Every structure is written in C-alpha cells, then in structure tokens.
Amino acid sequence: MNEWHRLTAVEAARRLARRELSAEALLRSCLERIAAREPEVRAFAHLDADAALAQARALDAGPLRGLLHGLPLGVKDILDTADQPTACGTPIYAGHRPPADAAPVALARGAGAVIAGKTVTTELANMTAGVTRHPLNPAHSPGGSSSGSAAAVADFMLPLALGTQTAGSIVRPAAYCGVVGFKPSFGRAPRAGVKPNAESMDVVGGFGRTVEDAALLAAVLLGDRRALDEPVPETFRLGLAPGPDRDHAADDVIACWQQAVRVLAPRLARCEDAALPADVADIAALQGALQAHETALSLAHEHRVHRERLSPALLELLDRGAALDAVQVEALRARAARWRSDVDTLFERFDVLLAPSTRDTAPAGLAFTGDPLYCRPWSLLGLPCVHLPFARGANGLPVGLQLVGRKGEDHRVLAAAKRAMAWLG
Amino acid sequence: MNEWHRLTAVEAARRLARRELSAEALLRSCLERIAAREPEVRAFAHLDADAALAQARALDAGPLRGLLHGLPLGVKDILDTADQPTACGTPIYAGHRPPADAAPVALARGAGAVIAGKTVTTELANMTAGVTRHPLNPAHSPGGSSSGSAAAVADFMLPLALGTQTAGSIVRPAAYCGVVGFKPSFGRAPRAGVKPNAESMDVVGGFGRTVEDAALLAAVLLGDRRALDEPVPETFRLGLAPGPDRDHAADDVIACWQQAVRVLAPRLARCEDAALPADVADIAALQGALQAHETALSLAHEHRVHRERLSPALLELLDRGAALDAVQVEALRARAARWRSDVDTLFERFDVLLAPSTRDTAPAGLAFTGDPLYCRPWSLLGLPCVHLPFARGANGLPVGLQLVGRKGEDHRVLAAAKRAMAWLG
C-alpha cells in the first residue's frame, strides 16, 4: 500500500510536475486516509470523492496548470465553491450552493489544485465549535475556527488546506494540531467570496506540514513567487515579543519559549527583547472589541433575521458589537493605527518577532476551541505570521510559537521560518 | 393626484414617523412614477411592485423601525438581496438568488427602508454600460457604474438609493444625473455581500436629491448619527484641489468651478489652493493600475471560468491587472500609502477640499459611462466625497463639483456640503 498521502506538498508537487505521480493516485491515497480517519476526526463539512477524482483525472489528462498542479486542497467552509456547498458552519446556510468560487479558491484551481473537500469551520468562523476532533486525541479540540483544515493537514488526510483568521483562527489550530499555519499580511490575499467577519482584520491563509509547503500555497494565494523563492537567510535578527499577556502562558508554552531561545539565540545575528508600544496592555481587548463591532456589521443580516439560529455566544458577540457607537469605534481605530505605525518601526531593528501562538496545548473537550489571546495583537496590526510546530507539551500534544513579520514582507517571514524550523526541528 | 414621490427623503421620513404619510402611499406614488418613466429610463434590473408593497404594508402595520422607516430605497444590483435576484450586470449571474442581504441592505432594512428594487449596474460594476438612459435626455449616459441608482433618484422614482464606488461610480453618475452622491471614507460602511472589485478602494455609499437626504442614508450606512446631527458650520476652510489633471476639464466644468469659487470665496474662512504632493501627476493612472490588479484578483473566478461571457473591455482590464506582479504592486501601494499620509496633513489647514467631479456633462451615447478621472485620486486615498449638483452645462445637463473630507470625518464633509449647497443653490 502506497503512502503518497504522507508526502510533503513540495515533494508531491515535484513528482506531479514530472508526471511520476498522478493527481488521481495522490488523491486516492488521501481519500483512503480520509476514509480510515474521518469517522474519528470529522474534518470535513463536505466531501465528494467521485467529484474530486474527476478533477484529478482532468488534471492528469491536461497540461500542467501551475504550482499546485494535482495537489489535493482542503477549503474552509466559509470560502465559496462553485461545485460544492458552502454552509459556513451554521444551519442558516446548510446546503447553500454559491454561484462562484471564492477568489482564493479560483486562484488555487487556476494553479492546478484539486479542491478535495470543504473543511469544518466553527459557526460563521466565530467561537462556537464544529464537530472536528483533535487527530492525536479525539477528546481534545483541534482549535478553531479553521478546525477541519488544520486537523486534515495534521492527520495526513490532505497536504494543504485554506483557512482564515480574524483573531487567531489559523495560528491557533495550527499550534494545537502541530502543523505550520501561515497568516498573510492584511490586504494581500483576495477575499471575494469569503464570508466576512471583521473587514479590517480578516485574512485568508493556509496550512501545511512544513514551512516549505505553506510557502508553496502562499505563493499562489499572494500571487508572489517570492514566498517560494526568497533565499533562506543564514541568520536573522529576532525580536522577542511575548507581549503584554505573557503571564497567561501555561508551563508547556513557557518551556517551549525557553527551548526556542536556547536553540536560536546562539545562531542569530540579534536576539533581544522587542519593546512594544507602552500602552499595549489592552491590545487584545481592543482587538476583541473592534472585531465584535465589525462582525456585527458584516453579519447584520443574520443578526437581524436569524437570531434564533445563532448560538448564544455569537448572539452575545453581535449584540455587544452592535452596541458600540461610531465615536467609540473611531477611538479604537485611532489607537490601532498608531500601534501599526509604532510597531512597524520595530522592524528596523528586527527582521522578525517571536511570539507565543497559544496559551497552552489543545484544550480538553470539544466545546471550547481555545483562546486566541496571543494572536489578537498581530491580527489587529495586520502582520504576517507563521506558526512553527516544533515541540510537545507534557500531555504529548503539539505546541509551538509564531514568527511575526513586517507588513508586506510575507516572503521574508516565511524564509526566516524555514531557517528557524531547520534549527528547531 | 399626489406627488409624494417628489418629497425629499427627510420630509417624507418626518411625515412617515408621524404616521401622517403611510409607507404604502409613498411607495405607490413612487411606483406610479416608475411606471410612467421606466420605459424610457430603464433604471431597474429587478422590480416587483407587489413584493415591495407587502414590505411597505408590514412597516405601516408595525412599530417605527428607524431613520429610514417607510422610505423606498433602490439597491445597486451588485449588493445581495435575500428577497430579490442579484445579477451584477452580467449574464453570468442572471437570476441568481443570494441567501442573505448584503450588510448595507440589512442595515437599511433594519432602519425601516422598503427595498423597492434592484437598480442597473454596469457589468460587474466596471466600465461596460447597462441599459439605463439619462432621465433628462435618453440619448445620453447616466454615468456608471451605479447607473440605475443615480437615474432613479434624479428622476423622482425613488428618494434614496445605494451605490458603490471603486474609481468614480457614485460621484460620476451623481454629477451626470444632477443628484447628491455620497462616497464614504474607505472602511466605514460594511461590504459583506457586496460583489468586490478592488478591496483596498471599494466603498458603499448612496444617492439623494439633497445633501440632507444623502446624510440620512449615510447615518444608517455608517452607523453614525453625526452624519445627520453634525451642526452645519457657519463657514469653513476650503482647499482648492483641482488636481494634476485639471487641464482635462471641459468648458462647462471650468465655468462651474469659477462660479463656485466666486460664490463661496467671500463667505469662507479660508479659500486657497491646496498643494497636493509634488509627485501626484500620475495618481489617476496609479489608481487605475491598482484597481485593475485587485479587480483581477476579486474576479479570479469569472476571469478563469467565464472569459467568453465577459465584455472585451473587462477582459482587457482583468488581463492587464493579472499581469502585474507582486513587486510592482508593492511599489504602487507604497506610493499610495505615502500620498494618504501627505494628503492627511492638508486637513490641518483645510476642513474640506473642492475638486471637479467629472470632465464634462453626461456623454452622448449609451456605450460610454464617462471618465472617472477626477474621482480616482480620492478613491485611491480613501477620502469621503460629496457631489454637489448646483449647475447646468451649455446643453442643459447637470454639472457640479465634489467636496472631499478628511478620512473618517464623513460627518464634517456632509455638514460642509449642506452649507455649500445653501450658498450655491
């Protein structure tokens, strides 16, 4: 029995491009893995093996399409797909058939990806969990909101998957599941056809099992070959940025931080504390308030018409967000704008920052997808992040940290992440 | 025969709130006007009188909903409506039924608006004209891309309508049709459920026959009572900003500019040339390039799957936009960011800027919706704009100018526009 589903995306892409491996064979291997594991993991909101195989055969019969030729891709179920339902994790949209692919899906398809299935999201990509379970321990949450995408990639069901992040919805599940999560700079990957939450923070990104795999997907999402081709630096300047909530980290995360600094510091051109602006103590709360406000606007229809079909937690968030007035929101935006400018200057001293990804390993139970606390600052600031999965907690579940780059320098944070993982791995 | 359809939105809202006028009576008056005029003007992509009347009767039977209670509203056909088809001006989406209202539609409905019908847009809100004709001369274009919304309001079919702008799609048709067009600051009105073109510039705004009417709609769209309540200033500081393309204005626009300066200057606290950054000569071209690039991303699905159903002009734009690489785009964005910062400082000396809205009056013929040249800078910069319809060209068609405000000070540019129209009107 083959193990094609265990290939990295980069290795599979190489063989596919040489026609040494067919898209159909790779997909069949993934489908077998899915058949074996899906009853336990529940990563998929929609999966039609025959339709996916038809896509794969069409690719095998035609010319090479692009960087993702023949690679099976999972798509978070808040991204529209023209050939598959898109339910956004809510009964409100059960069975909904969009008339078009979301732009990131269209870009991936144009680059040759097989849209293998739709992955489970939390309710409208907010905090109420979907059905997905952690691949390494089904009694634990995989994190959210990109739950199914992170779990499917971690569990070797698929080499790559798309996710989205508003607070911590890519980096958090990547951390819990032990895969690489890439959140681009704000405004770099298109969002047409993606269900919005907070327009000033929502981004589309992805998951892979290696930084190189995530970079391959990033090159397509961002339309930027540098994500793939940027030379891996021999060393780099690292700013330590545990942030104002550093004391909320569990022992596993502290141990992981200490391990990273011990391994990295001797190899780095610089490794020093990065001083965030003096008044960031409430940055996570401010991000949360702005997210609630903008989400209440984006979901104005659901909030008005479908109150009884929303979870109590989401309804509370929408009520809270809608209660903020324009003057209050303006004050939040003004602080965020100043922080963006202040933090940008940090990148004159540092190539990338190191920050925690999560407070702990994946939480026990399926109802709570975990706290996005450590992701909120970088989502508010719009900076590119790469989660590095290099450690295990005391319970055996994955843990890691994120590298944060300068806005627009997605290719540089990916390159630094490749180097860091080579040292840490 | 009543003439309720000729009431301003503000006056109609007052009578509706006192229950002196019913939503049904107002809507019936509008529907009669539409029945008389629509064969010539062709403002509507979809109109179901019975369904609209049912909305009106439900409002009459219930409590007062909000600022727009009982007001018939036109909705540009790139905004999703849960109860009406949304075809985006292209056969690709003919008859498409979205599962939800776009967020601005939901906000308007929540404030009591009757969603009276969907108004004609150009193809996917780009440059290929729809069927709408100018209300004052059917041999002329009403402008675009919010063609039907501007024409319906100008022709007294509806008191208010929603539009969107990426380059000049609100201000241009407002200018041609002789109504007030309001384009908000970038990022202030939600866009969920609105078909995207260029994500860094698309905004949702609206049309009314007076600034007060446009401000009423703005208060709902922005969730900001200040749009309505900001005191009208006794005077203000005006910066004259004809921009680097000033020499492209036709005689009618030059005459209109001279008239405005003659009337306003003696009444203003300041009226001086506003110095735009030295290197803005190509700002319109840069905006156009960035728009093409981002539109190619947003319409990646249509570009990939429906090439043969796109107009040659749109296909050319998408091909051109897709050909830009990430490094080129980064350079465009960097210049735009610097301009945003530089122009922001102008507002320390000036409350608002005065700029041309169009090169001329509405063009003859229906194929060309006019040049957005004079709107491109402010769309790129994300500044709030109000078109002031106060003059006529030699051919009797409307002409006017726009006031441009500081980002986020939508309420202040609306208040200044009220004062300016009182002086100019």
CATH number of the domain at A161, please. Answer: 3.90.1300.10
CA distance A224 to chain B (A): 5
Tell me whether residues A103 and B294 touch, CB distance under 8 A. Answer: no
Residue range A10-39: mean pLDDT, rounded: 98
Residue in A closest to B194 by C-alpha: A192
Query: Phi, psi at residue B365, to the nearest 5°?
Result: 90, 160
Judge whether residue A30 has pLDDT over 80. yes
* Distance, CA of B319 to CA of B303 (rounded, Å): 8
Q: How many CB pairs under 8 A join A and B?
A: 118
Find chain A residues with C-beta within 8 A of B301's C-beta. Answer: 82, 100-103, 105-106, 192-193
* Distance, CA of A59 to CA of A56 (rounded, Å): 5
Report pLDDT for A2: 79
- Pairing label, strands A385-392, A352-356: unpaired
* Distance, CA of A167 to CA of A172 (rounded, Å): 9
DSSP element (H, E) containing A73: strand A72-76
Which residue numbers of B are catalytic?
76, 145, 169
For B:29-88, CB contacts with A below 8 A are 82
Tell me whether residues B103 and A195 touch, CB distance under 8 A. Answer: no
Q: Which residues contact B139 (CB under 8 A, 6 or more apart)?
A: B133, B364, B365, B366
For A:306-345, CB contacts with B below 8 A are 325-327, 330, 333
CA distance B284 to chain A (A): 21
Please report the sign of the dihedral spanned by the C-alpha atoms of residue B113, residue B115, residue B116, residue B119: positive
Q: DSSP letter for B328, please.
A: H
* Distance, CA of A150 to CA of A226 (rounded, Å): 24
HEC string for B85-105? CCCCCCHHHCCCCCCCCCHHH
Contact B29, B5 (CB under 8 A): yes
A151: tokens are: 């779990």
B93 at A interface, C-beta within 8 A: yes
For B:202-241, CB contacts with A below 8 A are 222-226
DSSP element (H, E) containing B388: strand B385-392
Report pLDDT for B1: 59
Residue range A329-335: mean pLDDT, rounded: 98
Report pLDDT for A425: 86
- Pairing label, strands B270-273, B237-240: parallel
Report pLDDT for B2: 79
Tell me whether residues A223 and B333 touch, CB distance under 8 A. Answer: no
Residue in B closest to A111 by C-alpha: B304
Of B258, B199, B234, B231, which is closest to residue B382 (Cα–Cα)? B199
Of B395, B26, B414, B423, which is closest to residue B178 (Cα–Cα)? B395
* Distance, CA of B129 to CA of B367 (rounded, Å): 6
A212 falls in which pLDDT band (50, 70, 90)?
very high
Tell me whether residues A223 and B301 touch, CB distance under 8 A. Answer: no
CA distance A281 to chain B (A): 26
Residue range A369-376: mean pLDDT, rounded: 98
Find chain A residues with C-beta within 8 A of B195's C-beta. Answer: 192
For A:121-180, CB contacts with B below 8 A are none
Find chain B residues with C-beta within 8 A of A109's C-beta. Answer: 304
Residue in A closest to B191 by C-alpha: A298
Which residue numbers of A are catalytic?
76, 145, 169
Report in angstroms the alpha-carbon separations of A371 from A360, A402, B283, B400: 9, 15, 44, 53
Neighbours of B363 (CB within 10 A): 19
Residue in B closest to A225 by C-alpha: B326
Beta bridge partners of A72: A114
- Burial pattern A210-236, b for ≥16 Cβ within 10 A else e, equals bbbbbbbbbbbbbbbebbbebeeeeeb
Q: Which residues contact A262 (CB under 8 A, 6 or more apart)?
A: none
Tell me whether residues A304 and B96 touch, CB distance under 8 A. Answer: no
A93 at B interface, C-beta within 8 A: yes
Report pLDDT for B394: 96
A260 at B interface, C-beta within 8 A: no
Judge whether residue A1 has pLDDT over 80. no
CA distance B224 to chain A (A): 5
Residue range A268-273: mean pLDDT, rounded: 98
**Per-residue confidence in pLDDT tens, chain B, 425 aa:** 579 999 999 999 999 999 999 999 999 999 999 999 999 999 999 999 999 999 999 999 999 999 999 999 999 999 999 999 999 999 999 999 999 999 999 999 999 999 999 999 999 999 999 999 999 999 999 999 999 999 999 999 999 999 999 999 999 999 999 999 999 999 999 999 999 999 999 999 999 999 999 999 999 999 999 999 999 999 999 999 999 999 999 999 999 999 999 999 999 999 999 999 999 999 999 999 999 999 999 999 999 999 999 999 999 999 999 999 999 999 999 999 999 999 999 999 999 999 999 999 999 999 999 999 999 999 999 999 999 999 999 999 999 999 999 999 999 999 999 999 999 98
Mutate to test the interface with B, among A81, A93, A297 (most CBs of B within 10 A): A297
Tell me whether residues B326 and A224 touch, CB distance under 8 A. Answer: yes
Tell me whether residues B301 and A100 touch, CB distance under 8 A. Answer: yes
Q: Which residues contact B134 (CB under 8 A, 6 or more apart)?
A: B140, B141, B142, B151, B176, B177, B362, B397
Judge whether residue A182 has pLDDT over 70. yes
Residue in A closest to B81 by C-alpha: A301
Coil, strand, or helix at residue A326?
helix
Contact A270, A240 (CB under 8 A): no
The per-type count for chain B, helices as H runs and strands as E runs, is 15, 11
Cis amide leading into A145 (omega within 30): yes
B191 at A interface, C-beta within 8 A: yes
CA distance B300 to chain A (A): 5
User: For chain B, how many residues are written?
Assistant: 425
* Distance, CA of A266 to CA of A273 (rounded, Å): 15
DSSP element (H, E) containing A389: strand A385-392
Find chain A residues with C-beta within 8 A of B191's C-beta. Answer: 196, 199
Of B192, B223, B300, the CB nearest to A106: B300
Tell me whether residues A300 and B223 touch, CB distance under 8 A. Answer: no
A99 at B interface, C-beta within 8 A: yes
A408 at B interface, C-beta within 8 A: yes
Of A100, A191, A301, the CB nearest to B100: A301
Contact A134, A140 (CB under 8 A): yes
Domain count, chain B: 1
pLDDT averaged over every residue in chain A: 98
Find chain B residues with C-beta within 8 A of A106's C-beta. Answer: 300-301, 303-305
Find chain A residues with C-beta within 8 A of B186's C-beta. Answer: none
A298 at B interface, C-beta within 8 A: yes
* Distance, CA of A353 to CA of A386 (rounded, Å): 11
Mutate to test the interface with B, among A204, A301, A327, A410 (most CBs of B within 10 A): A301
How far is C-alpha A181 from the chain's CA centre?
A: 5
Per the structure, the complete domain to which residue A218 belongs is given by: 1-425
Q: Which residues contact B285 (CB under 8 A, 6 or more apart)?
A: none
CA distance B297 to chain A (A): 6
Judge whether residue A367 has pLDDT over 80. yes
A196 at B interface, C-beta within 8 A: yes
Rg, Å, chain A Cα set: 20
- Alpha carbons within 13 angstroms on the beta-carbon side of residue B99 total 19
Residue % of chain A over a pLDDT of 90: 99
